[in-house]
Amino acid sequence: MNIVVCVKQTPDTAELPKISVAEVTSGDIKTTLVLNPWDEFAVEEGLQLQDRFGGDVTVVTVGEEKATEALKDAIARGVQSAVLLSDPAFAGSDAWGTATILAAAIKKNGPVDVVLAGKQSVDGNSGLVAPGLARKLGATLLTNVTKIVDVAGGKITVERQLEEGRETLTASLPAVVSVSKEINDPRYPTFMGIRKASKAQIPVWSLADLDVSAGSVGQTAALAQWTDLRKPAARSSQVVLVKEATVEATAAKLADLLMAEKVI
Partner 1 sequence: MNFQLTDEQAGLRRLVRDFVDKEIKPIAAHTDESGEFPWDTLRKLGGLGLLGLNIPEAYGGAGADHLSAAILIEEIGRGCGSTGLIVAAHLGLACGPLNAFGNEAQKQRFLEPLASGRAIGCLALTEPGAGSDLAGGVRTFAELRGGEWVINGSKMWLTNGAEAETAILLCRTDRTGGSRSLSQIIAPTNTPGITFGKPERKMGLNGSHTYAVSLEDVRVPAENLLGEEGCGLQQTLEVLDGGRIGIGALSVGLAQAAYEAAMSYAQERITFGAPLTRHQAIQFKIADMATQIDAARLLVWRAAWLRDQGQPYTLEAAQAKLFATEMAEKVCYEAIQIHGGYGYSRDYPVERIYRDNRLMAIGEGTSEIQRLVIARRVLGL
Provide the binding-site residues for partner 1, judged by CB under 8 A: 72, 76, 188-192, 194-195, 197-198
Q: How near is the Cβ of 75 to partner 1 at its closest, in Å?
A: 10
Return the number of the residue (138 or 188) whose C-beta is nearest partner 1: 188
Q: How far apart are CA 67 and CA 263, in angstroms?
A: 42
Q: How near is the Cβ of 232 to partner 1 at its closest, in Å?
A: 20
Q: How near is the Cβ of 161 to partner 1 at its closest, in Å?
A: 24
Q: How far apart are CA 137 and CA 112, in angstroms?
A: 10
Return the number of the residue (158 or 197) whose C-beta is nearest partner 1: 197
The order of strands in the sheet holding 114-118 is 166-172, 155-161, 140-152, 175-179, 114-118, 2-7, 56-62, 81-85, 204-205
Q: How near is the Cβ of 9 to partner 1 at its closest, in Å?
A: 13
Return the number of the residue (72 or 136) whose C-beta is nearest partner 1: 72
Q: How near is the Cβ of 17 to partner 1 at its closest, in Å?
A: 13
Distances (CA, A) of 35 to 89, 97, 140: 23, 20, 25
Q: What sign does the CA torsion over 1, 8, 229, 180 have?
A: positive
Return the number of the residue (13 or 168) whose C-beta is nearest partner 1: 13
Return the number of the residue (174 or 189) whose C-beta is nearest partner 1: 189
Q: Catalogue the E-assigned strands of 8-53.
A: 9-11, 33-35
Q: How near is the Cβ of 72 to partner 1 at its closest, in Å?
A: 7
Q: Catalogue the E-assigned strands of 153-196.
A: 155-161, 166-172, 175-179
Return the number of the residue (172 or 190) whose C-beta is nearest partner 1: 190
Distances (CA, A) of 234 to 24, 32, 252: 18, 22, 31
| 166: three-class secondary structure by DSSP | strand
